[in-house]
Structure 1
Amino acid sequence: MKMGENNMFKLIAGPCVIENENLVMEVAKELKEITSDLGIEFYFKSSFDKANRTSIHSYRGPGLEEGLRILQKVKDTYDVKLVTDIHEPYQAEPVGEVVDILQIPAFLCRQTDLLVAAAKTGKIVNVKKAQFLAPWDMKNVVNKLQESGSENIMLCERGTTFGYNNLVVDFSGLLELKKFGYPVIFDATHSVQKPGGKGDSTGGNRAYVEYLAKAALAVGVDGVFMEVHPDPDNAKSDGPNMVKLSEVRTVLEKLIKIYNAAN
């Protein structure tokens, strides 16, 4: 399976981390209904482990085994495609048996062993561009995946480090990423982060998510990555950046109009 073979607007969305089964099922159900109504190609995303949290005391997730059980239930119940991230090479094979897209976190996008392991599963590999890399530097990441046997590649922009505790998005960088010939996804929620901005956790401003996503779609990206939660202010991970579930339909109705106009 390859992403980008049709002209549909693509959405990767879900809660940042698997907090519990009920929450994941609630979000997946609502997002499936919304995206079906709007004609959006939907991929449900949630993490079984957040291995790169700011603090050692931060909630990380249920772990590999329980996380994959819950994700499999989402797939079986709602017939949706799945995305989740991996942090270590050994995770690639078991995760690849459940999900449709293996995601490589931005901080780990140059980790050769992780990329090779993901490529060998034969699944789509979505690589988030590191906050410290120029867009054209992703050529080496792409080469590692290609030389490991993968052509099912996606590239994801999630903002670039700008001074301390801040990220910016260079929209011309999206055009640079598109030159590689693979689908490009814009991570609208992580791009509004303030890394470490709250001292022992990451801050951010979800009010900007819609506007950055609009700009990226106008440039011509293939889809949007958006983390969603029923109650972001009380979420266990990335709350300041996540879009409230009750607001998602309205946001997507606006975004799909821009996507259609740009394509």
Structure 2
Amino acid sequence: MVREVAVGGIKIGGNRPLVLVAGPCVIENESATLHTAERLMTICNGVGIPLIFKASYDKANRTSVTAFRGPGLHEGLRILAKVKEALGVPVLSDIHSIEQVAPAADVLDVLQIPAFLCRQTDLLAAAAKTGRVINVKKGQFLAPWDMKNVVGKLESCDNENIILTERGASFGYNNLVVDMRSFPIMRSTGCPVIFDATHSVQLPGGQGTSSGGQREYVEFLASAAVATGIDGVFLEVHEEPEMALCDGPNSVRLNDLAVLLKKLKAIDAIVK
């Protein structure tokens, strides 16, 4: 049985309805972040899906040294705190080092461990010891059954507030695939499982100095994943993906989001 994890007033897991984790890839500026969060709240309230807002204060693993990384830890957390206070929505962001854990835990409802850092024992332990909910993205290089060891590291620090996220597996060069078996396998750990539908259609490094993406397949992969009974969907969204400073090619256009969420909610209702 998959345990329930509480994020603010939202419960994920068990046999609860689908939860959405969504926001821009990176905090571009304060006004755009607040505007996107407000639009997301309106859309999610209209569809009837709980929202956890996500945005990265630092994209530490960009393809190129010249790529936009975000405003940094302190300014980014200030903006996320403002989103949280203004809208009453739980917030999530990535942490990349032990030094970031304490300040991030003061603001964030969910500390996210990036895929490339999912086996970093000291980072996992430091995050778990805060008592915050921990969302670990499965590395593109890991089998789904290997995530039981990640869960074991977190639970050894007396924290069972754990969520696991699938974001695709490396398939040759500059490509990812999603094995639908990974969802029941990872849920067998007892942790709620989220599907990152937008990073799963990313083409890592596919544009030379940045990643490409195929957002036209988000709907199909997300629908298939929801049909397996997962607990949430992770989507990066943007008002104008072509103008996004990070991950535009795989981001969902905000104007298209409501239709997609209605479809996913209907599938989820049938499954559960």
Instruction: Give the structure-1-normalised TM-score.
Output: 0.98
Q: How far apart in 2 are the matches of 1:5 and 1:134? A: 23
Q: How far apart in 1 are the matches of 2:123 and 2:224? A: 31
1:92, distance to aligned residue in structure 2 (A): 1.1
Show the counterpart of 2:165. Answer: 156
1:95, distance to aligned residue in structure 2 (A): 0.7
Show the counterpart of 1:113. Answer: 122
Of residues 138, 143, 149, the one that matches 2:147 is 138
Q: Tell whether 2:76 aligns with 1:70.
A: no
Q: How far apart in 1 are the matches of 2:262 and 2:183? A: 22
Superposition map of 1:145-224 within 5 A: 145-224=154-233
1:222, distance to aligned residue in structure 2 (A): 0.4
Alpha-carbon contact 1:157-1:186 (below 8 Å) kept: yes
Q: How far apart in 1 are the matches of 2:164 and 2:259? A: 26
Alpha-carbon contact 1:29-1:78 (below 8 Å) kept: yes
1:149, distance to aligned residue in structure 2 (A): 1.6
Q: Tell whether 2:112 aligns with 1:124.
A: no
Q: Which amino acid aligns with 1:52?
A: N
Q: How far apart in 2 are the matches of 1:213 and 1:31? A: 18
Of residues 33, 36, 44, the one that matches 1:35 is 44
Q: Which amino acid aligns with 1:166?
A: N
Of residues 113, 123, 131, the one that matches 1:104 is 113
Of residues 235, 238, 243, the one that matches 2:247 is 238
Q: How far apart in 1 are the matches of 2:214 and 2:14? A: 33
Alpha-carbon contact 1:18-1:47 (below 8 Å) kept: yes
1:5, distance to aligned residue in structure 2 (A): 5.5
Alpha-carbon contact 1:8-1:39 (below 8 Å) kept: no
Q: Tell whether 2:7 aligns with 1:7.
A: no
Q: How far apart in 2 are the matches of 1:238 and 1:26? A: 18
Alpha-carbon contact 1:125-1:154 (below 8 Å) kept: yes
Superposition map of 1:40-55 within 5 A: 40-55=49-64
Q: Secondary structure at the match of 1:96?
A: helix
1:234, distance to aligned residue in structure 2 (A): 1.1
Show the counterpart of 1:59. Answer: 68
Q: Tell whether 2:29 aligns with 1:20.
A: yes
Q: How far apart in 1 are the matches of 2:164 and 2:16? A: 17
Percent identity (aligned)? 57
Question: How many equivalent residue pairs?
Answer: 263
RMSD: 1.0
Q: How far apart in 1 are the matches of 2:14 and 2:83? A: 24
CA deviations over 1:100-144 (Å, ceiling 9, x no partner): 111000000000111011101101100000000000011111110
Instruction: Give the structure-2-normalised TM-score.
Output: 0.95
Alpha-carbon contact 2:118-2:138 (below 8 Å) kept: yes
Runs of 4+ in structure 1 deviating by more than 3 angstroms, as ranges, are none
Q: Tell whether 2:267 aligns with 1:258.
A: yes
Q: How far apart in 2 are the matches of 1:21 and 1:102? A: 20
1:99, distance to aligned residue in structure 2 (A): 1.0
Q: Which amino acid aligns with 1:220?
A: G
1:182, distance to aligned residue in structure 2 (A): 0.7
Q: Secondary structure at the match of 1:219?
A: coil
Q: How far apart in 1 are the matches of 2:246 and 2:122? A: 27
Q: Which amino acid aligns with 1:247?
A: D
1:8, distance to aligned residue in structure 2 (A): 2.5
